[in-house]
Amino acid sequence: MTLYYNLAVYKSSYELLKIILLESDNFSRQYKYTLGQRMKDEAMTLIKNIFLFFQSLL
């Protein structure tokens, strides 16, 4: 059985989260706490859902 953290979709999602975390610091104040936080939350939810999906298969 393939572990979730070895899958391309998980690795890509994790890379996306890292990019969002780095780049959201460069957002203007107007967007940092609204759009930036929403993007962070959605990326973390994506990773969490990948994890939960593969946990349900076990």
Of the candidates 35, 43, 2, 1, the one whose C-alpha atom is nearest the C-alpha of residue 19 is: 43
> Structural domain of residue 32, as residue ranges?
4-56
pLDDT in tens, the chain (58 residues): 568 778 899 999 999 999 999 999 999 999 999 999 999 999 999 999 999 998 888 7
Give me the count of residues in the chain: 58
**The pTM of the whole model exceeds 0.75:** yes
Residue 10 corresponds to which tokens in the numbers above? 């998980």
Please tell me the total count of domains within the chain: 1
The whole-number pLDDT of residue 19 equals: 97
Residue 39 corresponds to which tokens in the numbers above? 């993007």
- The answer to whether residues 21 and 40 touch, using CB atoms and an 8 Å cutoff, is yes
Q: Which residues lie below 8 Å from residue 23, measured CB to CB, with a gap of 6+? A: none
